[in-house]
């Protein structure tokens, strides 16, 4: 047995807890989960049935753990793990499953296929067969955490520029983007890029929130690798920052996997060092609107708008009603996709696949069901509260000629706040092509 295989098997053993063993044992191979998966919907073939993917890991598990399978491997297709099988498993877990959990919801037994796909990802990461780019991105974030002073100066300069824009947009000379403010109530953690800082800054200022901006980004590529060690190191930067500043809560930018990571995983990884609340920016927006902390014009967005449920936020995060509450407060023509909420279709961009250029074609093909779903709403604007989903839907827009505008929820809320100036790129007359929009100035 080579060292690679040994590492992969050791990782499988280390992960084999009650939920994973259950997922490996419970499947009845009834096949009714087939259409649950967007890969199968886009290209109906046996290999795209969630249970078939899971079987590839089960074959290895059975060989290691099932006595009948050891005696008669042909009876259960049990297979000794080798390099070819590991390469095949790696490919399946990173390019043919976005960990959306739609199959689990649709399985009469509730088989957790993504849990098995995560187990494979962890095996591949340990054995060195996981995609290099994900490892590089995770490691770069860890390095950044070790010595933030290296880039902090440049970051602060960018924030100073953004602050000028913020004042210009809001017409408020006192509007600020505080960074590392000791004792602030909220630590807001953005993604890379001004587009996830400026709109929330507008909202926080309007709500007169006691907030501060994190110097780190919310993304966590360790999560996509299913590498708890790396993921913890990436998350630790923010946990430490929150503890250092003494904040009451962390608010995560519009990002599915980051929300899932900080809301559901981090409290387990850092038990005892983690007593602040974690919310998504979506929840904060909903709270501000319902409490009247920000004023929005219910007629502000005249075009037809639909909402894409990110799998991490909706099916895996329970943020089902909050975004709809926000949208219904600002949109006149809100159209649901069918199906939606916990049954929503994955856009095909989850699980880190948008970062893997080698699988771009596969990703776009698997997004076809989402493209069709968007098309059938007839909506001109698609709101997605996750960066990966927005990137994917943007690509689907181009590839399938959807003729839509893809936007974040916060950007639309800012537009509905009727501020003196629009956000960059959100000039209303550009937003709804062909529609006359009156925005009082």
**Smaller CB separation from ligand SF4, 53 or 308:** 53
- HEC-encoded secondary structure of 269-316: HCCCCCCCEEEEHHHHHHHHHHCCCCCCCCCCEEEEEEEECCCCCCCC
Q: Residue 58 Cβ, how far from other proteins at the closest point, in Å?
A: 9
DSSP string, 324-365: HHHHHHHEEEEE--SS-GGGPPP-S-TTTGGG-GGGHHHHHH
Q: Which helix (H) or strand (E) holds 186?
A: strand 186-189
Q: Which of 196, 250, 258 is nearest to 223 (CA)?
A: 258
With binding defined as CB under 8 A, does residue 308 bind other proteins?
no
Handedness of CA 290, 295, 298, 302 (dihedral sign): negative
Contact between 23 and 54 (Cβ < 8 Å): yes
Contact segment (CB under 8 A) with other proteins among 135-143, 189-197, 334-342, 414-422 equals 334-342
| From the list other proteins, ligand SF4, none, partner contacted by residue 286 (C-beta under 5 to 8 A by kind) | other proteins
Query: 61-80: which residues touch other proteins (CB under 8 A)?
Result: 68, 74-77
Query: Angle at the Cα of 362 (from 140 to 342), degrees rounded to 5?
Result: 85
**Smaller CB separation from other proteins, 155 or 325:** 325
With binding defined as CB under 6 A, does residue 46 bind ligand SF4?
no
Q: Which residue has the tokens 């989903």?
A: 389
Q: Which residue has the tokens 């590529």?
A: 221
**Smaller CB separation from other proteins, 74 or 154:** 74
| From the list other proteins, ligand SF4, none, partner contacted by residue 400 (C-beta under 5 to 8 A by kind) | none
Contact segment (CB under 8 A) with other proteins among 31-39, 202-210, 363-371, 398-406 equals 31-39
| From the list other proteins, ligand SF4, none, partner contacted by residue 325 (C-beta under 5 to 8 A by kind) | other proteins
Cβ atoms < 10 Å from Cβ of 435: 12
Q: Which of 423, 420, 425 is nearest to 439 (CA)?
A: 420
Query: Angle at the Cα of 90 (from 84 to 94), degrees rounded to 5?
Result: 155
| From the list other proteins, ligand SF4, none, partner contacted by residue 271 (C-beta under 5 to 8 A by kind) | other proteins
Binding mask 73-112 for ligand SF4 (x = CB under 6 A): ------------------------xxxxxxx---x-x-x-
With binding defined as CB under 8 A, does residue 229 bind other proteins?
no
| From the list ligand SF4, other proteins, none, partner contacted by residue 53 (C-beta under 5 to 8 A by kind) | ligand SF4
How many residues of this chain interact with other proteins, rule: CB under 8 A?
Answer: 64
| From the list other proteins, ligand SF4, none, partner contacted by residue 382 (C-beta under 5 to 8 A by kind) | none
Point out which residues bind ligand SF4 (CB under 6 A): 27-33, 36-37, 39, 50-51, 53, 97-103, 107, 109, 111, 113-114, 117, 346
């Amino acid at each position: 047995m080579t060292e690679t295989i040994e590492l992969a098997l050791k990782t499988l053993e280390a992960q084999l807890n009650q939920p994973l063993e259950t997922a490996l044992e419970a499947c009845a191979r009834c096949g009714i989960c087939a259409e649950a998966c967007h890969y199968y919907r886009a290209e109906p073939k046996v290999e795209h049935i969630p249970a078939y993917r899971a079987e590839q890991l089960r074959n290895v598990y059975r060989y290691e753990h099932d006595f009948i399978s050891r005696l008669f491997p042909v009876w259960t297709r049990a297979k000794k793990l080798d390099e070819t099988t590991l390469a095949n498993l790696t490919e399946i877990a990173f390019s043919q499953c976005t960990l959306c959990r739609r199959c689990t919801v649709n399985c009469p037994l509730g088989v957790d296929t993504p849990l098995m796909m995560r187990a494979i990802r962890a095996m591949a990461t340990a054995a060195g067969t996981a995609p290099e780019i994900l490892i590089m991105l995770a490691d770069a974030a860890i390095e950044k955490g070790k010595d933030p002073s290296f880039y902090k100066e440049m970051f602060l300069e960018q924030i100073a520029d953004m602050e000028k824009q913020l004042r210009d947009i809001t017409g408020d000379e006192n509007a600020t983007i505080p960074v590392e403010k000791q004792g602030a109530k909220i630590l807001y953690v953005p993604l890379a890029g001004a587009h996830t800082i400026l709109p929330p800054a507008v909202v926080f200022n309007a709500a007169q929130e006691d907030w501060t901006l994190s110097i780190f980004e919310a993304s966590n590529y360790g999560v996509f690798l299913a590498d708890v060690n790396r993921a913890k190191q990436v998350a630790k930067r923010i946990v430490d920052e929150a503890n250092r500043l003494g904040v009451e809560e962390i608010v995560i930018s519009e990002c599915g996997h980051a929300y899932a990571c900080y809301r559901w995983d981090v409290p387990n990884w850092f038990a005892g060092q983690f007593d602040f609340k974690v919310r998504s920016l979506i929840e904060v927006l909903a709270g501000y609107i319902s409490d009247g902390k920000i004023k929005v014009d219910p007629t502000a967005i005249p075009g037809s708008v639909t909402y894409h449920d990110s799998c991490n936020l909706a099916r895996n995060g329970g943020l089902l009603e909050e975004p709809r509450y926000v949208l219904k407060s600002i949109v006149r023509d809100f159209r649901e996709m069918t199906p939606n909420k916990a049954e929503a279709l994955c856009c095909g961009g989850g699980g880190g696949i948008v970062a893997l250029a080698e699988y771009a074609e596969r990703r776009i093909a698997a997004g076809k069901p989402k493209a069709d779903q968007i098309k059938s709403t007839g909506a001109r604007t698609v709101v997605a509260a996750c960066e990966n989903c927005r990137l994917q839907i943007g690509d689907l827009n181009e590839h399938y000629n959807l003729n839509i505008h893809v936007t974040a929820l916060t950007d639309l809320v800012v537009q509905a706040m009727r501020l003196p100036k629009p956000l960059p790129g959100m000039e209303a007359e550009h937003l709804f092509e062909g529609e006359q929009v009156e925005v009082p100035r």
